[in-house]
Each structure stands twice: as C-alpha cells, then as structure tokens.
Chain A
C-alpha cells in the first residue's frame, strides 16, 4: 500500500509543481523512465517472491536510471545515441516483460 501511495504522491507532486528539467537532460528522461519501470517491476516481483529488500530496491533503482541515461549520453557523444537507446529499450523491455509475466503467474496463477 505504502509504495502505491508513494507513487501517487510523486505523480501528484510532479503534476502540481511542474518542474522543468534542464534541456540538456530532457532527451534522457524517456530512457530513465524505462529503466525506472524495470526497477519497479523487478522490485514488485521480488516482493511477491518474498525476497524484497529496501536497500537493493533503492540501489537498483538509482543505478538503473543513472546507467541507462549515462549509456545513452555516451552514445550521443560518440554518435550512436539512438542505436544505444534502442538497445537499452530492448534489453529493459525484455526484462520488464519477463517480470510482468512472472508477476501475472503469481497473482492470477495463470
């Protein structure tokens, strides 16, 4: 319950405060969000399997977001930014789908 409330509070805060991201960071926001989704679903699956730990969640979330943005940033510097972001989306997308499938199996036994 608390995690859900946290998410909702974050969304409401973001909508109300409308913080503007520096233009330098704006291209990396979508990829950071995909990384954040991966960390969130991974955490939810771990929670369902009874292995959830706050510390691992915090560390994996922050490192996921930062590394995904960093990879794309480095790619942009060397001219393969769009290809690398495609790669990141594919890898994280596979993980998200696998995790969601596992969550679905645990929740609905189907």
Chain B
C-alpha cells in the first residue's frame, strides 16, 4: 500500500519523513481509489476494443449494483420500521410509570388509614385522667400545624402558572424557588395549613425542581399550581399581599407575565401529609 521509495544498497539511510507517523492517514488520503483499477487499466490494451460489452464481468457488476441498491432499501426500511418499536416501548414505559404512581397512591391511602387507626389506639391507650387530657389537647393543637391531621376551614386559594411565552423563554416558567417563596409567604402570613395541588406541606416537605417538573415530596406537579392555605380569611390575603412573597409574585406576574391570582375560599379541605412519621418518642412520666 505504501509508496515508499525502495532503498538502494550503499546509499545513506534516507531521512525520515516528517509525517511518517501519519502514514496510515496519508495512505488513506493518497489512495482513495482501489489501486487495482489503475494497475489493470495500465496492463490492458489502450484501445479498449478488447473489452466486450457483454462480458461476464459486466453482468457481475450489474448484479453487485442491484445488490447495493437492495442494501440501501433494506437499511432504510429497517430504520423506519424500528421507529414504531421505540414508540411502543415508550408507551409501555409510560404505562409502567402510571401503574407505579397508582400503586403509590394506594399505599398513601393505606398510610392514612393506618394513621387514623394509630390515633384511635392512642386515644384508647391514654387514660381519662387530667395528664392524658392535657396530652390529647396538645396533640390536637399540634397535629394540624405539623400536617399530621387533615384540616378543613376557610382560607385562600392562590393559583399560579407559567407565562404564555414560557415555551420561548425558560425564565417565564414557575420555578421550585417561586413556589417555595409562596409557601413560606403563606406560612408567614398566618396560614395554619398549606397544600400545593393537593399535597399537604409540612416542615419536612421538599419543594424541588426535577427536570422540567416541580416536585412536592418527590411527586411531580402538573400546571397550573393551586396553592391552598387554611387560615383567617380576613387577614390572610392582605398579609400575603404585603409580605415579601407577595412582592416577589407581583414582580413575576408584572414583569414575566406569569399567572398569579388569589381568592378567598369558604371551606378548604386539606388532607394530612402521609410522609409524617414518628421519629422520636419518649415516655411521659405519669
């Protein structure tokens, strides 16, 4: 393949070519055509009359060309055919994700059932003396605040959404930070219980971004985001508007075009946060 000049005996060693280490690439660039074409053409008579038009070689070349065409067609067909297969696999995966989510929901319901049972057993185990009653009262007071018990009552509903232009500019999308600010603003404005799209928030709830979606307790939300807060309806909305969160969201809705609307609600029902577990317990001396 290489075209190095033959070394004549006795002559000094020829200087090493600068690009000797690139010999392979050079050979590829120098001989892109099969060198046999040139060799056979040089050997054949120049007039070309010796090559009959219907020689077996011509037929073989024709067959090879038909083969090449068929090769292209088959490859194109196969690439097109594997596309629906990929789509089917995708729908299967989506179905599996939906199954898993449904199972998660069932398990969460089970958790809520068991929580209710625990509560019953607890009140049964606690006696009827004054210490027990004080403990019950404390539990009743703290339960709604930590998100362990369902809460219902009047409050405000804040609905926020991406701006219509969010497809063009990612800065026009609601971020996890925006929802965090809003939730914290509602707490600071006196909300007793907050839920985003039906997911109750507790002190341990994580509002985070995961890819394109915002997750609350690792469950992804779908737009629009409906933030419900139970609290004093006379002051909650006004205090929210005056808080830093209100200013933040006014800025977002005015400068970025995001949807932001607050309204009073007569009666909101917020489920308990199924993620609450007992982490620390100590016996109370009677």
Query: Which residues from B are CB-within-8-Å of A95?
Result: 28, 32
15 contacts between A and B (CB under 8 A): A6-B69, A10-B72, A11-B69, A12-B69, A14-B73, A14-B74, A36-B72, A50-B41, A53-B37, A57-B64, A58-B60, A60-B34, A94-B28, A99-B33, A102-B32
Which B positions have Cβ atoms within 8 angstroms of A? 25, 28-29, 32-34, 36-38, 40-41, 44, 55, 57-58, 60-75, 77-78
A58 to B66 CA separation, bound complex (whole angstroms) = 12
A7 to B78 CA separation, bound complex (whole angstroms) = 19
Other than the given A52-B41, A94-B25, 14 more pairs (CB < 8 A) read A3-B62, A6-B69, A14-B74, A21-B78, A49-B37, A52-B37, A53-B41, A54-B55, A54-B61, A55-B40, A55-B57, A58-B61, A95-B28, A96-B32
Interface size (A, Cβ < 8 Å)? 49
**What residue of chain A has the Cβ atom nearest to residue B25's Cβ?**
A94
B41 adjacent to A51 (CB under 8 Å): yes
Nearest CB of B to A78, in Å: 21
Sorted nearest first, the 3 A-B pairs with minimum C-beta distance are: A10-B69, A14-B73, A6-B65
A11 adjacent to B64 (CB under 8 Å): no
Identify B68's interface contact among A18, A40, A46, A54, CB under 8 A: A40
B33 adjacent to A14 (CB under 8 Å): no
B69 adjacent to A9 (CB under 8 Å): yes
Query: In this assembly, does A8 line the interface, its C-beta being within 8 Å of a C-beta of chain B?
Result: yes
Identify B73's interface contact among A13, A39, A52, A57, CB under 8 A: A13
Within 8 A of B (CB), among A27-63: 29-30, 32-33, 36, 39-40, 42-43, 45-46, 49-62
Nearest CB of B to A92, in Å: 9
**Chain A interface mostly helix, strand, loop or mixed?**
helix
Query: Which residues from B are CB-within-8-Å of A83?
Result: none
A54 adjacent to B58 (CB under 8 Å): yes
A33 adjacent to B75 (CB under 8 Å): yes
Query: In this assembly, does A98 line the interface, its C-beta being within 8 Å of a C-beta of chain B?
Result: yes
Which A positions have Cβ atoms within 8 angstroms of B? 2-3, 6-15, 18-19, 21, 26, 29-30, 32-33, 36, 39-40, 42-43, 45-46, 49-62, 65, 91, 94-96, 98-99, 102
B32 adjacent to A10 (CB under 8 Å): no
Query: Which residues from A are CB-within-8-Å of B57?
Result: 53-55, 58
Query: Which residues from B are CB-within-8-Å of A45?
Result: 32-33
Asked whether A3 and B74 contact (CB < 8 A) given A36-B68, A61-B68, A102-B32, the answer is: no
